[in-house]
Structure formats: C-alpha cells, structure tokens
C-alpha cells in the first residue's frame, strides 16, 4: 500500500520543483539579456566617442586645409591615442586600429600590452567590418565593436575581454543557481513540514483505530487534534466506539446478572433435591450427612474419571436421590429390626422402581439423572442385582459409581444394628467385589485414589452442619 504521505510527496514536490526551476530559468535568461544589453551599450557609447573624436579632429584639419600634410596626420594619430587611452576604464579594455589590409597598426590598453605602442606588426591580419565582433585578438578571446575611419583607411575597434564582458552574467548565473538551490531546499523542507502537519493526524488516527481493533479495548479514544475534517472523522469514530463500549458494558452486566440468576436457580434446585433425598433417608439418618458424602464422593469419582465439571455437578446433585423410592415402602418393612422375609425383601427392592417412576420424564437434568441412579443403583456388574438384572456396562455409569460409594459409606458408618468398619476393610471388600458386585475398573480406580476418597469422606463426617443437625434431632 502506498501511504498518503508518499503519494502527496510524489505529487506536490515535483510541482514545486518544476515551478521553481521554470521561474528561475526565465529570470536568469532575462537578467543575462539585460546585462548583455547594458555591456553592449557601454562599449557602443565609448566607440561612438572615439569616432566623434576622430571625425571632429579631422574636420578641423580639413577646414584649415591641412589634410594633405603628413605631420598633421601624425599629430592627429598621436592625439587619438592619448584620447583613446583616457577613455579606457579597465585594463581588460583595448582600443586598436587595423590598416586597409587588416594588419594591426597599434593597440592601446589590454592586459598583455600595457603600453601605447605594443603590438605593431606582430598580429596576423583581421577582416573586421563595422559593427559587433567576437574574435581572437592579440592572443585573447575578445568581443567588441568596430568602425571605419575613411580618411586614414583605418578600421578602429574597441574591445573587451570576452571573459570580463560576460563575468557579470556568470556571477548572476552563479547567484541565481545558489538562490534556486536554496529556494528548492526551503520548498522541500516547508512542503515536508506541511505534509507532516496534514497527514500526521490521519496517520495517528489510523494507528489508534488499529490499536482498538487489535486489543479490543473500547475505553481507548482517537486523538482530537484539529477542528477540521480529520477532527470530525475522529469525533465520529469516538462516538461510535463510545456507543459500542456502553453496549458492551450493558451486555457484560446482563451476562453477569443472568449467570447469577442461573447459579441461584441451580443452587435452589440442588437444595430442593437434597431435601427430597433426605425425606427418603429420614428413617436411617436424620442429619443428611450420608447423602452429602454420597454426593461428594460420586462427584470426586467423576473428577478422577475426567468426565468434566458439568458431569461432576450432575452426579453431585442427582446421587442423593438414589433411595427416593423408599418413601413408598411401608415403615413396617423399612424399620423392621430383624431379617426381612422374602416377600418383605421383594417389597423393599421395589424402592428402585418407585424412585424411577417418581423421577422419570422430568425436564430437569438432575431429576432425569436421579431417575437412572434410583433405578440402577442396586444392579450388580455380574447381573445378579435388581430390579432388571442388568450386567456390565449396561448399568449406567452414574449408578455403578453410586453403588460403590453407597456401599462404602454404609460399611464405614455406624448403624444401630452394626459397628463401623475400618476404611481399609471396606476398601478390601470393594476390591474383592470388583467384577462381581462392582465395576472392576471403578473398584481399581477407587483403590488407586483411595487417599483422596478417604480424605473427602473424613471431611464430611465431622461437618458442622451435620453436627448441628444431630443436636436438633
């Protein structure tokens, strides 16, 4: 992508440079011409003076009738040389005279000559007509103006060294070039500053928009630098981000409230389920500690199996319902101190079916899972359990878990009719029953992680809540 700054540079700088170059070139040409005209006029004016001097002297000689006398002619030549010498203003100016054949008669002034007489006969002949010339004269490049003086058959010239003649023009050229370079540098610098001023806010605005998009931080705002179109753009962008920010805050708040409401509902449901479970278990244990331990140990099983948090929560809240069907069993059977008759035992076994009937078809996932556990928690791995005689993995996993945990808790708890087993003895029983009563894989896992299960059991045995309930009943 070509940046805006680069694009503007490529557009503006060539225009500025071209404008400066054209105007510089034109003014240079104009001043060179003007200077050349001035120098020409200067030489032409002096040449005019020299010609006037010669003509007026000759007029005097002629009017006195002395034109034919050689000594007057020599005197006039002498007088002209003196006059010409006085006309010269610098040692680069030179006056000379050529005879009819173009041979140099004399030269006055000039760098090499210095004297009035130097140069006679040493110069090759020149064919110079009247008017401007530019020639190599007396070993130097010269420009000048020539005129004819008929009475003597002379061609008289006034000249300036070519380099001196154009030296001012050269100086002007150099000065102009310097000015041009300086103006170009200034223009480039000022353009760069101006473009920076122009594109800087846009670049910073773009950078900030990119940062907001990258970090998703809606509390950031674009910088408001100028009160122009870019400022307006930044303001509108900020308005947009502000609206997005308040919308996202509202959304986060709604999410939080919804999460809280959900948590409260789940907690209430769990409490209700637990209470339901306690009603069924009330005759055996009034504190509810047995059900709390079943929940906790089943959830620990789910964690050890790596089933995930949802499964842990599910079994934690549904396992306390495993004996809910007992509410339909007559108290005479439930509370009978001695051994049950076969009919009574059969009636007792029906608590699994009653529990299932009570909880099935519920929309609550806790109650639905509770139905499966209530139904199958007395099934055995080898198929010798009840009520359906399911075997192996046909028994729901949650029921296989609750079956181990329920038996373990019953063994290590004290009951009116039996003493509490040690945890080690209970573990031994469970391992021994692996593959018969219990899922052997779960039994092995229970043994492998026994430290954790024992600690979880201990934690809930002496829970304040359980003690407090004990005191109440």
Contact positions vs Fe ion (CB under 5 A): 323, 406
Choice between 369 and 406, CB closer to Fe ion: 406
Shortest Cβ distance from residue 323 to Fe ion (Å)?
4
Query: Rounded CA gap, 231 and 249, in Å?
Result: 26
Query: Rounded CA gap, 131 and 45, in Å?
Result: 13
Phi and psi at residue 156, to the nearest 5°: -100, 135
Shortest Cβ distance from residue 335 to Fe ion (Å)?
15
Shortest Cβ distance from residue 435 to Fe ion (Å)?
21
Choice between 159 and 403, CB closer to Fe ion: 403
Choice between 154 and 356, CB closer to Fe ion: 356
Q: Are 413 and 290 in contact (CB under 8 A)?
A: yes
Shortest Cβ distance from residue 325 to Fe ion (Å)?
8
367 closest CA partner among 355, 379, 378, 376: 355
Q: How far is CA 201 from the centre of its chain?
A: 15
DSSP per-residue codes, 380-439: -TTS--SSS---GGGS-HHHHHHHHHHHHHHHHS-BTTBPPPPHHHHHHHHHHTBTTTB-
Shortest Cβ distance from residue 242 to Fe ion (Å)?
59
Shortest Cβ distance from residue 322 to Fe ion (Å)?
6
Shortest Cβ distance from residue 411 to Fe ion (Å)?
12
Token duo for residue 228: 């122009």
> 231-237 long-range CB contacts below 8 Å, 24 or more apart?
231/201, 233/205, 234/201, 234/205, 237/205, 237/209
Shortest Cβ distance from residue 251 to Fe ion (Å)?
45
Choice between 17 and 407, CB closer to Fe ion: 407
Token duo for residue 155: 């061609």
Query: Rounded CA gap, 375 and 398, in Å?
Result: 11
Choice between 47 and 324, CB closer to Fe ion: 324
Phi and psi at residue 444, to the nearest 5°: -65, -45
Q: Are 144 and 159 in contact (CB under 8 A)?
A: yes
Choice between 71 and 414, CB closer to Fe ion: 414
Choice between 159 and 352, CB closer to Fe ion: 352
Shortest Cβ distance from residue 415 to Fe ion (Å)?
12
Choice between 379 and 406, CB closer to Fe ion: 406
Choice between 323 and 439, CB closer to Fe ion: 323
Query: Rounded CA gap, 378 and 400, in Å?
Result: 9
Choice between 385 and 434, CB closer to Fe ion: 385
Shortest Cβ distance from residue 310 to Fe ion (Å)?
24
DSSP per-residue codes, 214-254: HH--TT-------SSHHHHHHHHHHHHHHHHHHHHHHHHHH
Give the CA-trace dihedral at 127, 128, 133, 134, to 10 degrees.
30
Instruction: Supply angle C-alpha 278, 279, 285, rounded to 5.
Output: 55
């Amino acid at each position: 992508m070509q940046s805006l700054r680069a694009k503007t540079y490529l557009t503006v700088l060539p225009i500025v440079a071209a404008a400066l170059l054209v105007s510089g070139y034109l003014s240079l040409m104009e001043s060179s011409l003007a200077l050349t005209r001035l120098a020409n006029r200067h030489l032409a004016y002096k040449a005019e003076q020299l010609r006037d001097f010669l003509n007026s002297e000759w007029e005097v000689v002629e009017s006195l009738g002395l034109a034919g006398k050689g000594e007057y002619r020599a005197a006039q030549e002498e007088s002209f040389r003196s006059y010409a010498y006085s006309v010269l203003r610098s040692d680069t100016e030179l006056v000379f005279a050529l005879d009819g054949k173009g041979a140099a008669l004399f030269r006055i002034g000039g760098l090499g000559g210095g004297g009035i007489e130097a140069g006679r006969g040493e110069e090759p002949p020149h064919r110079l007509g009247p008017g401007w010339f530019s020639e190599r004269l007396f070993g130097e490049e010269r420009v000048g103006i020539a005129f004819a003086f008929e009475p003597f058959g002379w061609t008289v010239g006034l000249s300036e060294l070519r380099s001196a003649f154009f030296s001012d023009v050269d100086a002007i050229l150099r000065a102009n070039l310097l000015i041009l370079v300086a103006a170009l540098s200034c223009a480039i610098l000022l353009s760069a500053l101006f473009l920076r001023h122009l594109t800087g806010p846009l670049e910073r605005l773009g950078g900030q928009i990119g940062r907001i998009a990258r970090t998703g931080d809606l509390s950031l705002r674009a910088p408001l630098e100028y009160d122009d179109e870019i400022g307006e753009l930044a303001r509108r962008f900020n308005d947009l981000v502000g609206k997005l920010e308040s919308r996202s805050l509202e959304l986060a708040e709604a999410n939080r409230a919804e999460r809280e409401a959900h948590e409260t509902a789940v907690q209430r449901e769990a409490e209700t389920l637990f209470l339901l479970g306690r009603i069924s278990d009330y005759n055996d244990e009034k504190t509810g500690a047995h059900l709390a331990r079943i929940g906790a140990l089943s959830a620990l099983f789910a964690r050890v199996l790596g089933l995930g948090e949802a499964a842990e929560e599910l079994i934690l809240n549904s396992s306390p319902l495993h004996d809910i069907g007992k509410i339909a069993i007559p108290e005479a059977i439930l509370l009978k101190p001695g051994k049950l008759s076969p009919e009574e035992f059969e009636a007792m076994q029906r608590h699994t079916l009653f529990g299932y009937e009570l909880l099935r078809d519920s929309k609550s996932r806790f109650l639905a899972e509770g139905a499966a556990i209530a139904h199958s928690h007395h099934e055995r791995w080898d198929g010798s359990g009840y009520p359906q005689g399911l075997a192996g993995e046909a028994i729901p996993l949650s029921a296989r878990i609750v079956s181990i945990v329920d038996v373990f808790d019953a063994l290590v708890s004290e009951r009116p009719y039996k003493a509490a087993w040690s945890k080690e003895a209970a573990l031994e029983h469970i391992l021994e029953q692996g593959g018969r009563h219990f899922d052997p894989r779960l039994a092995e896992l229970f043994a492998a992680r026994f430290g954790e299960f024992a600690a979880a059991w201990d934690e809930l045995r002496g829970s304040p809540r359980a003690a407090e309930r004990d005191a109440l009943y």
